[in-house]
Amino acid sequence: MSTNLKSPKNPTSTSFKAYVEAVEQNNTPEEQHALEDSRRRFTIGSRLLDRRLAAGMTQRELARTSGIDQGEISRIESGQANPTVQTLQALGTPLGVVLDFAVAKAS
């Protein structure tokens, strides 16, 4: 999925965070939705990677114990895949992770 986010009119900022905030303010609703989808994928992938490393497992070992292809694990960890609930449950079981819903923090 490739999304072209618009640069702010004044790209000079004192921090990357300020730059990102400026870009976000200039997004269309569709671009903002795409950005939030990407953030969710990267968050899921990052959490999976953290749990796998904490368990001392390689992607290959997790693939063997979960039944999920190693390439798919790599894509999920890098934020390039949108895993199903079933995939996340299969990956979570050998890592001792239970899939659950949480209340989102207010912005």
What's the distance, CA 9 to chain centroid?
28
Query: What span, in angstroms and rounded, lies between the C-alpha atoms of 87 and 95?
Result: 13
Domain residue limits, the chain: 16-93
Q: What is the pTM of this model?
A: 0.69
31-80 residue pLDDT tens: 888 888 888 888 899 999 999 999 999 999 999 999 999 999 999 999 88
Which of the following CATH numbers is that of domain 16-93: 2.40.10.220, 3.30.200.20, 2.40.40.20, 1.10.260.40? Answer: 1.10.260.40
Exposure string over 38-76, b if 16+ CB within 10 A, otherwise e: eeebeebbeebbebbeeeebebeebbeebebeeebbebb
Give me Rg for the CA atoms of the chain: 17
